[in-house]
Amino acid sequence: MFKNALLYRIDQWTPPPLDEVEDRLAGSRFTACGATQPESAGWLQPRGDKEGALIENIGGQLVLRLGVERKAVPSSVVKAELEARLDRIEAETGRRPKGKIAKELKEEIVQDLLPRAFPKRSATLVWIDVRAGFVVIDAASTAKADRVVTMLVELLGGGIRLSLAQSAISPATAMAEWLTSKEAPAGFTVDRECELKQPDSEKATVKYARHTLDIDEVGQHIVQGKLPTSLAMTWSSRVSFVLSDAMTIKKLKLLDVVLEGASTATKDEDHFDADVALVTGELQQLIPALIEALGGELNRDAVTGAAKAATAASPQPLAA
């Protein structure tokens, strides 16, 4: 289900009733790009059922899915067509268009070719834990999550503000300490994948893949100034992942001990409820443990206030 986990904190906010959120979602439902529209974004049914709800409440955990469709004309095609038109105009008038006229021609070409461009679709899962006061977006970077955050703020309203969770110790500093000391934080193990990068204009990079990291060479690279930008880890023998220096969890994978324990659980026809409960249940434990390993969370007072406000709020938003 979730392959990545980008964590945002919710500032103090009272969530609207779930049926009100559903109505708002319906107003921003996903539709495909028009003939000359380069991009379209909107909300999809998390279950994939065309007749289903646009927001799902699974055990108090809210799940949404944002769909994005993009159409792009290859730049080489645009360039070739532009050159052909410029050549034709030059042959007819003796003057070759430049500047603003050439730019307008290029835009015209894109509009002419867009109806024939093949669309590419993507979907991003969003999980909201109102009581804990966080939002998790299945995105590998903030750049990929920006559209989701913008539309989520517009959707939920009520003065909601989302901010990236920040730890007291930067992930790069913490990962460097774990690697040089050869000691992982409590409850975690260091796996066999790592990237080290020099924080200068050269950006000299060393990558380890399927290689033990419990070697002096890794520490020497760090002593020489390279910093970890990613590190593969496992939490409690239950979840493996790659931690980035931006505090993004990537390559998220539930391990056999979790999946085997869930194999006897009652599941609905499409397994959606069980999958959501399983993944969110593990992440609800992993995320606090990881933040603790990074020295705790900055601005924790604001986070605690958000969690208390959500807990005290009317239960309507979490009603099915």
Q: What is the pLDDT of residue 264?
A: 55
* Number of domains composing the chain: 3
55 and 138 part of one domain: yes
In a domain, 27, yes or no: yes
Contact 6, 142 (CB under 8 A): yes
144 and 13 part of one domain: yes
Rounded to two decimals, what is the model's pTM? 0.83
**Listed residue (85, 76, 77) closest to 103, CA to CA:** 85
36 and 96 part of one domain: no
Please tell me whether residue 209 adopts helix, strand or coil conformation.
strand
- In the sheet with 249-254, reading across from the earlier edge strand, the strands are 205-209, 188-197, 227-235, 239-244, 249-254
In a domain, 41, yes or no: yes
In a domain, 314, yes or no: no
In a domain, 35, yes or no: yes
Residue 237 or residue 261, greater confidence: 237
Q: CA-CA distance, 58 to 272, in Å (whole number)?
A: 9
Length of the chain: 320
125 and 38 part of one domain: yes
Residue 112 or residue 15, greater confidence: 112
The pLDDT confidence band at residue 42, using thresholds 50, 70 and 90, is: very high
123 and 256 part of one domain: no
Phi and psi dihedrals of 10, rounded to 5?
Answer: -100, 125
Q: Which domain holds residue 133?
A: 6-72+117-164
Q: CA-CA distance, 63 to 186, in Å (whole number)?
A: 30
126 and 263 part of one domain: no
148 and 193 part of one domain: no
Task: Average the pLDDT over 84-92 and give the result.
Answer: 95
The pLDDT confidence band at residue 270, using thresholds 50, 70 and 90, is: low
Task: Average the pLDDT over 272-299 and give the result.
Answer: 94
81-95, 222-236, 237-251, 266-280: least confidently modelled range: 266-280
Residue 44 has pLDDT above 50, yes or no: yes
